[in-house]
């Protein structure tokens, strides 16, 4: 009898020992997550402490300067905004078009396979390689120079895979019933696509576009590689301004700087006062990218909850 009890006891001890490992690992898992959380907190706190005192109206309306306390990010945020306009104008039509083609039109042949493999591979190309492509092709090949147009096109190509993948996923989640209904009423393929498929997938496409744009706005390496200047103390010409009057799109050929480059410039200077400017610029940049990402996550969350086909 006592032998049985002893065995039971030893089995219980064994189970308890193994269950303890469950607890240990769950703790380790939470700790590992905490490393991420702590890094995020430290990063944000460091920039807040350093940069927040520099954030003022003047910081947004001043040009960069040799005097750290007068320097601002006017040319940088204007440049970033203009580059993003060109990027969106490149990536959205091309990405959505390619996504629609691959999901709705593409026949099953080697060309389609090639495009699909290619999109997957492009997503893994380091961003600086896009910079080299742009330097060889846009800057010197097409003679576009170190302009807003070059930067916008480069970043547009960079985020193209993101937009294509998001478009395809959004379209794929639309049930076949919708298409069949449209075809049954005599709609052509494009009518089905433009009246039904695209409107229903807009929210999904938007998440992809926003995530892509958030990535593009923080990209530094490709924009530096094309040779963007780090010190710009003027703004591109406004449409229809100047003498002789400039056209609507003259600003695309203007030299520029962007937020991450401005931040890089200030970070790589030895003076601590410029590091404060870098922190303030970084804060603006992080708030911008994080709010864009949060918006995308929120749209996706809403989408998952609300859609019932």
Partner 1 sequence: MTSLSQANRIEALPDTFVSDRLARRKLRHVQERIIEFVLFLAACVSVATTLGIVVILLTESFVFFQQVSLWDFLTDNQWTPLFADAHYGILPLLSGTLVSSMVALLVAIPLGTIIAIYLSEFAPFGVREVAKPFLELLSGIPTIVYGYFALLFVTPLLQKLIPGLPGFNLLSAGIVMGIMIIPTVSSVSEDAMRAVPMALREGSYAMGATRFQTAIRVVTPAAFSGIAAAYILGISRAVGETMILAVAAGMQPNLTWNPLEPAATITAYIVQVALGDLPHGSIGYQTIFAAGLSLALMTLVFNVLGHMLRKRYRQAY
Q: Which of residues 160-179 bind partner 1 (CB under 8 A)?
A: 160-161, 164
From the list 295, 213, 223, the residue with the least C-alpha distance to 263 is 223
Q: Pick from 118, 180, 233, 307: which binds partner 1 (CB under 8 A)? A: 118
List CB contacts of 204: < 8 A, sequence separation 6 or more.
166, 167, 169, 170, 171, 173, 300, 303
Interface with partner 1, residue 127, by CB under 8 A: yes
Q: Pick from 1, 5, 18, 110: which binds partner 1 (CB under 8 A)? A: 18
From the list 118, 113, 84, the residue with the least C-alpha distance to 292 is 84
Q: Pick from 56, 58, 61, 105: which binds partner 1 (CB under 8 A)? A: 105
Q: For partner 1, which stretch binds (CB under 8 A), given 2-10, 14-22, 174-182, 195-203?
A: 14-22
Binding mask 55-74 for partner 1 (x = CB under 8 A): --------------------
- CB 303 to partner 1: min, Å: 14
- CB 246 to partner 1: min, Å: 27
To 10 degrees, the CA torsion angle through 111, 113, 117, 122?
A: 30
DSSP 68: T
Buried b / exposed e over 140-152, threshold 16 CB at 10 Å, is: eeeebbbbbbbbb
Interface with partner 1, residue 33, by CB under 8 A: yes
Interface with partner 1, residue 101, by CB under 8 A: yes
Q: CA–CA separation, 132 vs 224, rounded Å?
A: 10
Write out the DSSP string of 116-152. Answer: HHHHHHHTTS-HHHHHHHHIIIIIIIS---SSHHHHH
Footprint (CB under 8 A) of partner 1, residues 260-279: 260, 263-264, 267-268, 275, 278-279
Q: Based on CB atoms, which residue is closest to partner 1, 93 or 239?
A: 93
Interface with partner 1, residue 294, by CB under 8 A: yes
Query: Backbone phi, then psi, for 187, in 5-degree steps?
Result: -70, 150
From the list 306, 296, 284, 302, the residue with the least C-alpha distance to 48 is 284
Q: Based on CB atoms, which residue is closest to partner 1, 146 or 254?
A: 146
Q: Based on CB atoms, which residue is closest to partner 1, 238 or 287?
A: 287
Q: For partner 1, which stretch binds (CB under 8 A), given 60-68, 170-178, 217-225, 249-257?
A: 217-225
Query: Backbone phi, then psi, for 130, in 5-degree steps?
Result: -60, -35
Please, what is the end-to-end C-alpha distance for the chain in angstroms? 64
Q: What angle do CA 120, 259, 159 make, to 5 degrees?
A: 15
Q: For partner 1, which stretch binds (CB under 8 A), given 24-32, 59-67, 75-83, 201-209?
A: 24-32
- CB 203 to partner 1: min, Å: 17
Footprint (CB under 8 A) of partner 1, residues 128-147: 128-133, 135-137, 140-141
Q: Pick from 150, 201, 225, 257: which binds partner 1 (CB under 8 A)? A: 225
- CB 44 to partner 1: min, Å: 10
Contact status, residue 302 vs residue 63, Cβ threshold 8 Å: no
Footprint (CB under 8 A) of partner 1, residues 234-253: none
Q: Pick from 201, 220, 254, 257: which binds partner 1 (CB under 8 A)? A: 220
User: Tokens at residue 70, please?
Assistant: 């007068």
């Amino acid at each position: 009898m006592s032998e049985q009890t002893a065995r039971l006891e030893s089995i219980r001890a064994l189970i308890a020992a193994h269950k303890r490992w469950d607890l240990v690992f769950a703790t380790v898992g939470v700790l590992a997550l905490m490393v991420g959380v702590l890094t995020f907190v430290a990063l944000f706190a460091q920039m807040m402490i350093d940069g927040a005192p520099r954030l003022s109206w003047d910081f947004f309306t001043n040009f960069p300067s040799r005097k750290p306390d007068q320097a601002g990010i006017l040319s940088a945020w204007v440049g970033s905004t203009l580059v993003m306009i060109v990027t969106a104008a490149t990536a959205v039509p091309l990405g959505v078009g390619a996504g629609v083609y691959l999901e709705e039109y593409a026949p099953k042949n080697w060309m389609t396979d090639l495009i699909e493999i290619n999109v997957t591979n492009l997503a893994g190309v380091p961003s600086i390689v896009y910079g080299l492509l742009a330097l060889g092709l846009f800057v010197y090949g097409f003679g576009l120079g170190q302009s807003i147009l070059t930067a916008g096109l480069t970043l547009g190509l960079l985020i193209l895979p993101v937009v294509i993948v998001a478009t395809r996923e959004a379209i794929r989640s639309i049930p076949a019933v919708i298409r069949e209904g449209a075809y049954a009423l005599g709609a052509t393929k494009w009518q089905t696509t433009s009246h039904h498929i695209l409107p229903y997938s807009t929210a999904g496409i938007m998440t992809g576009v926003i995530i892509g744009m958030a990535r593009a706005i923080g990209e530094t390496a490709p924009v530096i590689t094309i040779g963007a200047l780090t010190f710009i103390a003027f703004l591109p010409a406004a449409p229809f301004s100047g003498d002789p009057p400039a056209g609507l799109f003259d600003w695309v050929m203007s030299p520029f700087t962007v937020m991450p480059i401005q931040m890089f410039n200030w970070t790589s200077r030895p003076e601590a006062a410029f590091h404060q400017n870098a922190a303030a610029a970084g804060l603006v940049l992080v708030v911008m990218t994080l709010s864009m990402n949060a918006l995308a996550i929120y749209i996706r969350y809403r989408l998952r909850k609300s859609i019932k086909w």
